Amino acid sequence: MRKILFFILVCFFSAYHSGLGQAYEISPFSGYTLSHNFGIKEGHAKLSGGPHLGAIGTICLTPYLDLEFTYSFRQALGTAQSTLFSETFSHSTQSQFATLGVSKLFPYNVRFTMFTGANVGVMLFSVRESELQTLTKVAVGGNAGVRYYFNDRLGIRMQVNAFMPILEPSMGLWWYSDPSNPIGVGKSTALIQAGIVSGLIIRLGEL
């Protein structure tokens, strides 16, 4: 998984140094991620909603297409219940996503733009105050939103984000799962972390 993350960073910075972009943008953001419930073997689990922080690096390839590197971080309370558990598991969790994607732009005028995009990358999932190992998984995501520019250098963006790691059936997360009798996510379970964020746009270069 580290190789995937390294590959993502190499691709982004190679595009940056090659001069493919007409302009470059940096967008620190914050927002809120919704809670998410999903099924596990003979039970259910939940990630609580909470604050969401991160940053986006954008290479403006054309007036209608961007290349974006996104890093996001969030903490959430994870709970899990099952008739096969002797107790309810409750832990503070951390999720980090690093993705590379493209965004299709739909300019309304020189100041206002709508967009939608898709990305792929990695998720690092860890449990605080626990001996459980940090999980690193391939993740996919999507976004849609709007941008408004006050001038040629500054603007704001608001968007909906959704990230989904690709999980193996029966794997455990913040709860203990005996390898000989795994209690984990179902075959059709999707762990989706979706929310809304907003942030400042700082543009470098000219369109």
75 pLDDT above the threshold of 70: yes
Q: Please, which residues have CB within 8 angstroms of residue 59's CB and are 6 or more apart in sequence?
A: 12, 15, 16, 20, 21, 24, 66, 67, 68
pTM of the predicted model as reported, rounded to 2 decimal places: 0.82
Which residue has better confidence, 19 or 113? 113
Q: Please, which residues have CB within 8 angstroms of residue 93's CB and are 6 or more apart in sequence?
A: 47, 75, 76, 77, 78, 125, 126, 127, 128, 173, 174
When pLDDT is averaged across residues 85-105 and rounded to a whole number, the result is: 87
Q: Please, which residues have CB within 8 angstroms of residue 138's CB and are 6 or more apart in sequence?
A: 1, 4, 120, 121, 122, 123, 165, 166
Alpha-carbon gap, residue 74 to 168, rounded angstroms: 22
90 pLDDT above the threshold of 90: no
Whether 89 contacts 108, CB under 8 Å:
no
105 pLDDT above the threshold of 90: yes
202 pLDDT above the threshold of 90: yes
When pLDDT is averaged across residues 94-123 and rounded to a whole number, the result is: 94
Alpha-carbon gap, residue 31 to 6, rounded angstroms: 27
Total number of residues shown for the chain: 207
Alpha-carbon gap, residue 67 to 101, rounded angstroms: 6
178 pLDDT above the threshold of 60: no
Range from 53-67, 130-144, 181-195 that averages highest in pLDDT: 53-67
8 pLDDT above the threshold of 60: no
DSSP 46-89: EE--EEEEEEEEEEEEETTEEEEEEEEEEEEEEEEEETT-SS-E
pLDDT in tens, 14-33: 555 555 556 889 999 999 99
* pLDDT-based confidence at residue 200 (cuts at 50, 70, 90): very high
When pLDDT is averaged across residues 112-117 and rounded to a whole number, the result is: 96
pLDDT attached to residue 206: 60
pLDDT attached to residue 192: 85
If you search the block for the tokens 């890093």, which residue do you land on? 71
When pLDDT is averaged across residues 35-45 and rounded to a whole number, the result is: 82
pLDDT attached to residue 147: 97
pLDDT attached to residue 26: 93
DSSP 106-171: EESSSSEEEEEEEEEEEEEEEETTS-PPPEEEEEEEEEEEEEEESSSSEEEEEEEEEEEE---TT-
Both tokens assigned to 106: 């739909």
143 pLDDT above the threshold of 60: yes
Task: Using a pLDDT cut of 70, give the percent of the chain over it.
Answer: 75
When pLDDT is averaged across residues 48-74 and rounded to a whole number, the result is: 91
